[in-house]
Structure formats: structure tokens, C-alpha cells
Structure 1
Amino acid sequence: MSTKNILASMLFASAALVAGSAMANDNPHTQPVNTPSAVSRAEVLADLEIYRESGLAAVEQSETYGYDNARRDAAKARYAELRNSPYYATLVKKFGGSAPATAVAGR
């Protein structure tokens, strides 16, 4: 390669590098920040267990979701009952947490 080609290649590479970094910094949107949750892992696992036991998971994943309103309403009522019972606190302790102090989404 001649010196002219080498210089042209270096110039092109540096221009591409500058343009790439300028484009990377051109994003007007800030990146999302993950904030720590006030809900413990044990609380999430206990809520998931109740969600499954109440039958709400099965209803929401069935092909009749949206049509079988009576079954869905019964499952929601059972979920709320279990979620507000001492059984929830027992499950939280089972999964290694302490007494729940916060609510879980979907309550």
C-alpha cells in the first residue's frame, strides 16, 4: 500500500470513529434507571403461589378468558381472600422473608 492509501484509510477510520461517537451521544432520551423495589423476593414468590392456588393463573391462561366471567370473578375473589389472609404471611416466611410490610402489584 502506498502512503497515500494508508493516510486515506486512517483519515476515514478516524472520521467514522468521531461520527459514531457523536451519534451515540445524540440520544435525547435518558436511559431507564432500575429503582430498587420495596417488595422482597419472598413477597413476590408468596404472591405468585397465591395467584396459582386461587386459580387465577389458570383462568387468565385459558382459552375462555374473557368469556368465563363467573369463573374469573370467583378466582379473583379467592385470590383476594388468600392474599389478605395469614396464609400470605406464612408463605412469605416459607420463602425466607419477614412479615410483609408492603403490598404486591395486583392486589
Structure 2
Amino acid sequence: VKAAKAHNKGIVVDLIGVADKVTRAKEARALGAKFVEMHAGLDEQAKPGFDLTGLLSAGAEARVPFSVAGGVKLATIEAVQRAGADVAVVGGGIYSAADPALAAKQLRNAIN
């Protein structure tokens, strides 16, 4: 954090694999992180019952600037925006689409 500040940069803390994302997000911000990433890896997304809502709820509850990664796609981008995410990271929602270029364009058009 000290080096980032010296170079006018920010730190993003990725919370992939962290069970208590709300608490860790608050801790990361207190230590000087610019924002945190509420992130679910492919292994977590593959578990029965995974729902992007958990990541979005954690971001909103933590009341810190956050990004979200893991399960973001055209069908969920509106919920991501409503939850207040500053950044949406889309992986599989583009690279797994039948037409990745079209998927990227549709996502871009859906972002307010």
C-alpha cells in the first residue's frame, strides 16, 4: 500500500477463496486498499447452489468500493449494477458464449 501510494496507484484486494468476504473487505479498506473484488472461482461456481447474489450481497453489506467476478454475464449484469459494484469482471460470460464478440457487445450495451 505504501509503494502504491508513492507511485499514485491503488491496491485491489481479491477475495477469492475468502469465506467471510464482508469482514475481510472492511479490513482491506482499513489497510488502504482502493477497492476489493468479491470473487468466486470456477470451483466455487461449480458447487451446487452457487448464486452470484451472495457476492453482490457481500459487496453491498461491506459498504466498500467493490468489483465482482464469477458468474457475471448478460443475465446478471443488471443485478451487478443494482448492487453498486464499481467494476464487473466477465470471463465465461464472454468466452463461453456461442458468439463471444456479440456477448461482449451486448454486455457493453447493457451497462449504464
Q: What is the TM-score of this pair, normalised by structure 1? A: 0.25
Structure with greater proportional helix content? 1
Q: Which has the larger radius of gyration?
A: 1
Structure with greater proportional strand content? 2
Which structure's relative contact order is higher, taking Cα pairs within 8 Å and 6+ residues apart? 1
